[in-house]
Amino acid sequence: MPGEFDFIEAYLSERQTLRQDVQLALGDDCAIVCPPQNARIALSTDTLVGGSHFLLSAPPEWVAHKALASNLSDLAAMGARPAWMSLALTLPELDESWLRPFFDAFFALADDYGIQLIGGDTTKGPLSISLTVQGFVPQDTALLRSGAQVGDRIYVTGKLGDRKAGLDVILDPSLRSKPFASELEKRHFLSTPRVDFAQSLLGIASAAIDISDGLLADLQHILSRSQVGARIDVSQLPYSNEMAAFVGNQVTARQYALTSGEEYELCFTVPVQYASYVERELAGETELHCIGQIAPQGELVLHDAGHAVDWALSGYDHFKASK
Amino acid sequence: MPGEFDFIEAYLSERQTLRQDVQLALGDDCAIVCPPQNARIALSTDTLVGGSHFLLSAPPEWVAHKALASNLSDLAAMGARPAWMSLALTLPELDESWLRPFFDAFFALADDYGIQLIGGDTTKGPLSISLTVQGFVPQDTALLRSGAQVGDRIYVTGKLGDRKAGLDVILDPSLRSKPFASELEKRHFLSTPRVDFAQSLLGIASAAIDISDGLLADLQHILSRSQVGARIDVSQLPYSNEMAAFVGNQVTARQYALTSGEEYELCFTVPVQYASYVERELAGETELHCIGQIAPQGELVLHDAGHAVDWALSGYDHFKASK
């Protein structure tokens, strides 16, 4: 679709903040970039398929935000500073009334994080947005999933569960009459990736992941890669008053906090000796909650301030609650 | 599609050649790679949409080859050495009988070029294959589209036109009875990107591009970025005996050579003082043909050994033959 690409290229060329380390962006066979000396490059790819990851009727500015935020969140999970990205955009047609708000929101968010679009491909087909983002981590300090040790404290940023409640509204419009339904629908798309906060975890956190599949599912990735278990106190799970009012009871609110995906908050582990530093120095600007501790491998316990809970939470690979 | 991703990740982990500069590949939020000191990174993204860029009935091993070759060809066009790639794969279903030959061919070609898959995303939806490839170019020696000067000679590698003839067969099965139809259909998918040869052009060629849209259309990109024109001698266009037999006459064969896309041969320009070096030293291992010269801006002439030709070749943006 040459016409479409021309439009997009012309539109892009006037919209972006330009980085010093980009020698050549759009317009040749490849982009050329100049990484800093001794940097490690972190790279992640995420695809959103129209009709699957978002309804085709979703506002394009929300879709753009979600596509970029999900990728930035992967960089945040490694403690990487965003730098460059390439966009593979498949469109059923040239619809400027969709593309303009899409790109406006896309570049507004990109500028907030200092990331430049350097390449991509535009093709004709079913709507799909695939981004590959890159960023820098200093040598040997990236936040991995694999460093958690028994005894480490487990923290999460922000509040969890709004995105699952928002998805309920999207999938069942009859829920729009429930409290805060419109606000939760909007929040489903407009998560804030924790890029800046993640920088302060470098050298402090023993493991980290962003919450994209749901806290329990993502924590399982840390446990699996670190070969450890965990004890989670569900009474410490942070969630919003709006989500609690929407779902109507505490147990459901806690279960939403445990299983809500696409939150783009961070879950990270901290050795006990750094815990007071984290709670004293880092919890001021960013909301943090300690939700449990790392336990020996094979143990995954959910408890309510010490009392056993026995919830059937299905749909997550490998998840088996034990007591 | 977690099950699918598990299959793919397990399959991938045992298939790949591992590079020393990949610190972390699949399995965390991001991959981490270590670029060499002072290198520039070249990056390109290409998407193939099922049903649009290839028929859904095409052999998966051919589709894999085409997807990777088109991206490697972009690296070749810059003189870059392939290093890493990420794959955004959207699949309608988990079909191992499709995925196994796809990945077998994909990694066979990847290994030939020393490129490692470091990241990606697998989603459920209409079949689509989007690759982002990266490679290294030494500082300030990348082959660009913008360096052609009046008087430079214009070369192409290999033979041109087979892919268009192959596409004819794909789109119209009644042509299968024509000479070499099956062979040309296969060649449509199985181009060889000129990665190694491109290395020998660094510091020699003034401009380069890979032939993905068709020689005339791609040459136009060089002319536009370099602000020059060109004189092309159609009698010098290289094409295969098989394609000539398939199309049945010389004029059509030459027109196919001018307009056939997805060739993944290189078109490059060389200052006159390097021309004898190119023809003496480089033309031995790789088939090269001089097809014309760079002319002043605004001039684009097709001639047949000095005699005017007046072909209406439609479908290419900006292309207007002048005399």
- How confident is the model at residue B315, as a pLDDT? 37
| Partners of residue A75 in chain B, C-beta under 8 Å | 29-30
Q: Give the dihedral sign, CA A99/A104/A108/A110.
A: positive
Tokens coding B247: 């199309």
Please name every residue paired with B31 in a beta bridge, in sequence order, or none if there are none: A43
Higher pLDDT, A205 or A281: A205
Mutate to test the interface with A, among B132, B211, B266 (most CBs of A within 10 A): B132
User: Does residue B147 form part of some domain?
Assistant: no
Q: What is the mean pLDDT of chain B?
A: 88
Place of tokens 């990348």: B142
Please name every residue paired with B295 in a beta bridge, in sequence order, or none if there are none: B229
Q: How confident is the model over B257-316, as pLDDT tens digits?
A: 999 999 999 999 999 999 999 998 888 889 999 999 999 998 889 999 999 888 876 533
CATH number at residue A41: 3.30.1330.10
Which residues lie below 8 Å from residue A256, measured CB to CB, with a gap of 6+? A160, A161, A164, A165, A239, A243, A247
**CA–CA separation, B301 vs B322, rounded Å?**
5
Q: How confident is the model over B51-96, as pLDDT tens digits?
A: 888 888 889 999 999 999 999 999 999 999 999 999 999 999 888 8
| CA triple A200-A203-A208, angle to 5 deg | 75
| Partners of residue B2 in chain A, C-beta under 8 Å | 317
- How confident is the model at residue A189, as a pLDDT? 86
On whether both B194 and B221 belong to a single domain, the answer is yes
User: Does residue B321 form part of some domain?
Assistant: no
Q: Do residues A288 and A159 touch, judged by C-beta distance below 8 A? A: no
Nearest by CB: A120 against B45, B51, B119: B45
Q: How confident is the model over A46-102, as pLDDT tens digits?
A: 999 998 888 888 899 999 999 999 999 999 998 999 999 999 999 998 888 999 899
| Partners of residue A209 in chain B, C-beta under 8 Å | 29
Q: Do residues A258 and A234 touch, judged by C-beta distance below 8 A? A: yes
User: Does residue B199 form part of some domain?
Assistant: yes
- How confident is the model at residue B110, as a pLDDT? 94
- How confident is the model at residue B13, as a pLDDT? 67
**CA–CA separation, B153 vs B293, rounded Å?**
4
Nearest to B266 by CA among B179, B192, B162, B190: B192
CB contact under 8 Å between B43 and A33, yes or no, is yes
Q: How far is residue B113 from each of residues A244, B42, B80, B120, B264, measured CA to CA in Å?
A: 54, 15, 11, 19, 15
On whether both A157 and A123 belong to a single domain, the answer is no
**Percent of chain A scoring above 70 in pLDDT:** 92
User: Does residue B317 form part of some domain?
Assistant: no
Tell me, what DSSP letter sits at residue B317? Answer: T
- How confident is the model at residue B317, as a pLDDT? 34
The residue of chain A with its CA nearest to that of B45 is A120
Nearest by CB: A30 against B42, B88, B120: B42
On whether both B16 and B107 belong to a single domain, the answer is yes
The mean pLDDT of B207-225, rounded to a whole number, is: 92
**CA–CA separation, B274 vs B207, rounded Å?**
13
Q: What type of residue is B250?
A: Q
User: Does residue B146 form part of some domain?
Assistant: no
From the CA of A37, how many Å to the nearest CA of chain B? 6
Q: Do residues B114 and B78 touch, judged by C-beta distance below 8 A? A: no
Nearest to B317 by CA among B240, B246, B243, B213: B213
**Crossing angle of helices B2-13 and B96-113, rounded to 10°:** 40
| CA triple B161-B167-B173, angle to 5 deg | 130
CATH number at residue B177: 3.90.650.10
CB contact under 8 Å between A90 and B47, yes or no, is yes
The DSSP code sequence of B114-129 is T-EEEEEEEEESS-EE
On whether both B94 and B22 belong to a single domain, the answer is yes
CB contact under 8 Å between B34 and A44, yes or no, is no
From the CA of B289, how many Å to the nearest CA of chain A? 22
| Partners of residue B47 in chain A, C-beta under 8 Å | 88, 90, 121, 123, 130
SS (H, E, C) chain A: CHHHHHHHHHHHHCCCCCCCCEEECCCCCCEEECCCCCCEEEEEEEEEEECCCECCCCCHHHHHHHHHHHHHHHHHHHCCEEEEEEEEEEECCCCHHHHHHHHHHHHHHHHHHCCEEEEEEEEECCCEEEEEEEEEECCCCCCCCCCCCCCCEEEEECCCCHHHHHHHHHHCHHHHHCCCHHHHHHHHHCCCCCHHHHHCCCCCCCEEEECCCCHHHHHHHHHHHHCCEEEEEHHHCCCCHHHHHHHCCHHHHHHHHHHCCCCCCEEEEECHHHHHHHHHHHCCCCCEEEEEEEECCCCEEEEECCEECCCCCCCCCCCCCCC
- How confident is the model at residue A272, as a pLDDT? 95
**CA–CA separation, B176 vs A320, rounded Å?**
57
Residue A317 CA neighbour count, 13 Å, CB half: 10
From the CA of B33, how many Å to the nearest CA of chain A? 5
Q: How confident is the model over A228-246, as pLDDT tens digits?
A: 999 999 999 999 999 999 9
Q: Do residues A58 and A190 touch, judged by C-beta distance below 8 A? A: no
On whether both B130 and B199 belong to a single domain, the answer is no
- How confident is the model at residue B7, as a pLDDT? 65
From the CA of B150, how many Å to the nearest CA of chain A? 20
Which residues lie below 8 Å from residue B241, measured CB to CB, with a gap of 6+? none
Whether the predicted pLDDT of A313 surpasses 80: no
**CA–CA separation, B55 vs B88, rounded Å?**
19
Tell me, what DSSP letter sits at residue B54? Answer: B
The residue of chain A with its CA nearest to that of B316 is A2
**CA–CA separation, A34 vs B312, rounded Å?**
43
Q: How confident is the model over A101-147, as pLDDT tens digits?
A: 999 999 999 999 999 999 888 889 999 999 999 999 977 777 888 89
Q: How confident is the model over B246-272, as pLDDT tens digits?
A: 999 999 999 999 999 999 999 999 999
| Partners of residue B33 in chain A, C-beta under 8 Å | 40-41, 43
Other residues' Cβ atoms within 10 Å of the Cβ of residue A241: 11
User: Does residue A320 form part of some domain?
Assistant: no
From the CA of A189, how many Å to the nearest CA of chain B? 19
Whether the predicted pLDDT of A285 surpasses 50: yes
- How confident is the model at residue A26, as a pLDDT? 78
Other residues' Cβ atoms within 10 Å of the Cβ of residue A140: 8
- How confident is the model at residue B140, as a pLDDT? 75
On whether both A157 and A299 belong to a single domain, the answer is yes
**Exposed, middle or buried by CB within 10 Å (0-12, 13-18, 19+), for A198?**
buried
CB contact under 8 Å between B30 and A210, yes or no, is no
**CA–CA separation, A270 vs A285, rounded Å?**
18
**Percent of chain B scoring above 90 in pLDDT:** 65
CB contact under 8 Å between A88 and B88, yes or no, is yes
On whether both B181 and B294 belong to a single domain, the answer is yes
Other residues' Cβ atoms within 10 Å of the Cβ of residue B260: 26
Nearest by CB: B209 against A29, A87, A124: A29
On whether both A66 and A162 belong to a single domain, the answer is no
Is A310 in the B-facing interface, judged by CB distances under 8 Å? no
Other residues' Cβ atoms within 10 Å of the Cβ of residue A36: 12
**Percent of chain A scoring above 90 in pLDDT:** 65
- How confident is the model at residue B316, as a pLDDT? 36
User: Does residue A304 form part of some domain?
Assistant: yes
Nearest to A46 by CA among A64, A70, A78: A70
ipTM score for this prediction: 0.84
CB contact under 8 Å between A35 and B41, yes or no, is yes
Tokens coding A140: 């040997």
**CA–CA separation, A26 vs A118, rounded Å?**
6
User: Does residue A92 form part of some domain?
Assistant: yes
Residue A271 sits in which domain range? Answer: 153-308
**CA–CA separation, B78 vs B74, rounded Å?**
7
- How confident is the model at residue A268, as a pLDDT? 96
Chain A residues 69-108 within an 8 A CB cutoff of chain B: 74-75, 77-78, 80, 84, 86-88, 90
Region for A305 from its dihedrals, namely left if φ exceeds 0, alpha if ψ lies in -120 to 50, beta otherwise: left
On whether both A6 and A127 belong to a single domain, the answer is yes
Whether the predicted pLDDT of B124 surpasses 50: yes
**CA–CA separation, A281 vs A283, rounded Å?**
6
The mean pLDDT of B150-159, rounded to a whole number, is: 96
| Partners of residue A80 in chain B, C-beta under 8 Å | 30
CB contact under 8 Å between A88 and B130, yes or no, is yes
CB contact under 8 Å between A47 and B121, yes or no, is yes
**CA–CA separation, A220 vs B111, rounded Å?**
33
CB contact under 8 Å between A43 and B121, yes or no, is no
Helix segments in chain B, DSSP class H: 2-13, 60-78, 96-113, 162-171, 181-189, 195-199, 215-226, 241-247, 250-259, 272-277
Last residue of a domain, one of A137, A169, A184: A137
Question: Residue A174, Cα to own-chain centre: how many angstroms?
Answer: 28
Is A26 in the B-facing interface, judged by CB distances under 8 Å? no
Higher pLDDT, B12 or A219: A219
3-class secondary structure, B137: strand
Tokens coding A163: 């995105």
On whether both B163 and B292 belong to a single domain, the answer is yes
Q: Do residues B187 and B70 touch, judged by C-beta distance below 8 A? A: no
Nearest to B308 by CA among B214, B231, B215: B231
- How confident is the model at residue B269, as a pLDDT? 96
CB contact under 8 Å between A33 and B23, yes or no, is no
Last residue of a domain, one of B109, B137, B165: B137
Number of folded domains in chain B?
2
Tell me, what DSSP letter sits at residue B39? Answer: P
Last residue of a domain, one of A105, A137, A169: A137
| CA triple A317-A321-B3, angle to 5 deg | 5
Higher pLDDT, B5 or B13: B13
On whether both A162 and A72 belong to a single domain, the answer is no
On whether both A301 and A220 belong to a single domain, the answer is yes
